[in-house]
Amino acid sequence: DTAVSQTPKYLVTQMGNDKSIKCEQNLGHDTMYWYKQDSKKFLKIMFSYNNKELIINETVPNRFSPKSPDKAHLNLHINSLELGDSAVYFCASSQGGTSGGAEFFGPGTRLTVL
Amino acid sequence: AQTVTQSQPEMSVQEAETVTLSCTYDTSESDYYLFWYKQPPSRQMILVIRQEAYKQQNATENRFSVNFQKAAKSFSLKISDSQLGDAAMYFCAYHDSHDMRFGAGTRLTVKP
């Protein structure tokens, strides 16, 4: 049973397209996160949601928007994709508040923008 | 902004030996968490250990333990009885209610 799942695992698309990455957790956790890992392995938090409320919103471009239809899901929508958006995107979840940090991660989605 | 520094880009250890990975951070907050995450070649991110800043006792998880020096803003990870499966990138991270930062990572190699 997968705790945190992401779809798709790989995404190849053209510049200018709009795409979404889905994330689901079956742990009953209160908080979910999105992270970006660039080609140099550098990790950066993008968003976190606690009980459907955005808690942390890093200075990411507004082309990126998180959508949480319910506590178990936090999807990532990206508009007008750019070459620099190529990275691995991780979804994660945790029990309790956002300051406690991510406990379980999804397998990651490797996004390649051509 | 809070910063997290891992001064060792690469480390190696002999199987069954002990290795310590260094991490320092900068913050003016009093309430925060510190983490070590492991990322093996499979790409999966795994939480290794977590320390709450208000707790003086160092966190331990089986073969993994930390040396948390709050005044010095230091948070090192000690891996005892190293195993081949410990080979991975290790990321130190800082988290408070407003911000989260990662270090650049330390690549650990375990030699048989």
Among chain B residues, the shortest Cα distance to A103 is held by B47
Q: How far is residue B42's CA from residue A32's CA, in Å, rounded to a whole number? A: 22
CATH of the domain at A59: 2.60.40.10
User: For residue A98, what pLDDT is reported?
Assistant: 65
* Residue keyed to tokens 């919103």: A57
Give the domain range for residue A15: 4-98+105-113
Residues A76-92: what's their mean pLDDT? 96
Among chain B residues, the shortest Cα distance to A91 is held by B45
User: For residue B13, what pLDDT is reported?
Assistant: 98
Q: How many CB pairs under 8 A join A and B?
A: 54
Which residues of A are less than 8 Å from B44 in CB distance? 105, 107-108
Q: Domain count of chain A?
A: 1
Whether the bond into A107 is cis, omega within 30 of 0: no
E-assigned strand segments in B15-104: 19-21, 24-26, 33-39, 46-52, 60-61, 64-69, 74-79, 88-95, 100-102
The overall average pLDDT reported for chain A is 91
The verdict on a CB contact (< 8 Å) between B93 and A99 is no
User: For residue A1, what pLDDT is reported?
Assistant: 67
Which residues of B are less than 8 Å from A100 in CB distance? 33, 50, 95
Quickly state the pLDDT bin for B32 (edges 50, 70, 90): very high
Q: How far is residue A80's CA from residue A63's CA, in Å, rounded to a whole number? A: 7
Task: Write the pLDDT tens digit of every residue in B84-112.
Answer: 999 999 999 999 877 889 999 999 999 99
**Between B110 and A60, where is the model more confident?**
B110
User: For residue A100, what pLDDT is reported?
Assistant: 73
The verdict on a CB contact (< 8 Å) between B47 and A108 is no
Q: Is the confidence at residue A52, as pLDDT, over 80?
A: no
Task: Write the pLDDT tens digit of every residue in B37-90.
Answer: 999 999 999 999 999 999 989 999 999 999 999 999 999 999 999 999 999 999
Q: What is the residue type of A3?
A: A
Reduced to 3 states (helix: H, G, I; strand: E, B; else coil), residue B98 is coil
Residues A2-14: what's their mean pLDDT? 94
Q: Is the confidence at residue A55, as pLDDT, over 80?
A: no
The angle subtended at Cα A110 by Cα A94 and Cα A113, nearest 5°, is 130
The verdict on a CB contact (< 8 Å) between A105 and B45 is yes
Domains assigned to chain B: 3-111 (2.60.40.10)
SS (H, E, C) chain A: CCCEEEECCEEEECCCCCEEEEEEECCCCCEEEEEEECCCCCEEEEEEEECCEEEEECCCCCCEEEECCCCCECEEEECCCCHHHCEEEEEEEECCCHHHCCCEECCCEEEEEC
Residues A71-86: what's their mean pLDDT? 95
Q: Looking at the complex, does the CB of residue A88 fall below 8 Å from at least one CB of chain B?
A: yes
